[in-house]
């Protein structure tokens, strides 16, 4: 009797399982998978080198700026002057009055420009964040490394 009940239960489970399979929608073998959403391609990246003649510590300083552009937008700059290379500075898009590039230590300010006209626009200055003691109190300051940067054609460092 126990064997008969066990056999009946097994047959019942098999029958239920086959019924569920029959209710499932058939899968077409040649149906292509849905295409994933494709993002628009990023604008091409390019580098633009601009030479500036700046003033630093009372003397003329040759400064080379290598701007990285994506499409017509300037997104970063790498500066070098008098054998010193500064870190890559990222564009701060919240400043609409100037092109401002910065990291946690340096800030490069230049006239508003795009990839199309950056080689004709003046730079302004490179500053380094620091502190100064005023009346015994340490205050944050921006120390000017060089300033009054004008585009210089054919300037060599």
CA quadruple 38, 40, 41, 47: dihedral positive or negative?
negative
Q: Is residue 2 part of a domain?
A: no
Residue-number span of the structural domain to which 79 is assigned: 45-151
Give CA–CA dist 66/77, Å, rounded. 5
Q: Is residue 17 part of a domain?
A: no
Q: Is residue 99 part of a domain?
A: yes
How does DSSP classify residue 22?
H
Q: Is residue 137 part of a domain?
A: yes
Give CA–CA dist 45/26, Å, rounded. 48
Q: Is residue 90 part of a domain?
A: yes
Beta-carbon contacts of 100 under 8 Å, excluding residues fewer than 6 positions away, are 91, 92, 107, 108, 109
Q: Is residue 109 part of a domain?
A: yes
> Count of domains in the chain?
1
Q: Is residue 79 part of a domain?
A: yes
Regions of the chain where pLDDT drops below 70: 1-42, 153-157
Q: Which two tokens stand for residue 111?
A: 């006239």
Q: Is residue 8 part of a domain?
A: no
């Amino acid at each position: 009797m126990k064997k008969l009940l066990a056999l009946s239960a097994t047959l019942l489970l098999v029958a239920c399982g086959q019924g569920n399979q029959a209710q499932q929608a058939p899968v077409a073998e040649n149906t292509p998978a849905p295409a994933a959403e494709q993002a628009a391609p990023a604008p091409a990246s390019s580098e633009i080198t601009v030479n500036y003649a700046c003033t630093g510590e009372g003397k003329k300083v040759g400064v080379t700026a290598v701007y990285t552009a994506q499409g017509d937008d300037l997104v970063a700059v790498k500066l070098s002057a008098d054998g010193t290379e500064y870190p890559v500075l990222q564009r701060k898009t919240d400043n609409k009055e100037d092109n401002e590039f910065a990291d946690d230590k340096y800030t490069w300010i230049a006239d508003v420009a795009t990839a199309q006209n950056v080689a004709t626009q003046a730079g302004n200055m490179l500053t380094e964040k620091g502190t100064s003691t005023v009346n015994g109190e340490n205050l944050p300051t921006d120390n000017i490394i060089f300033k009054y940067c004008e585009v210089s054609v054919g300037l060599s460092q």
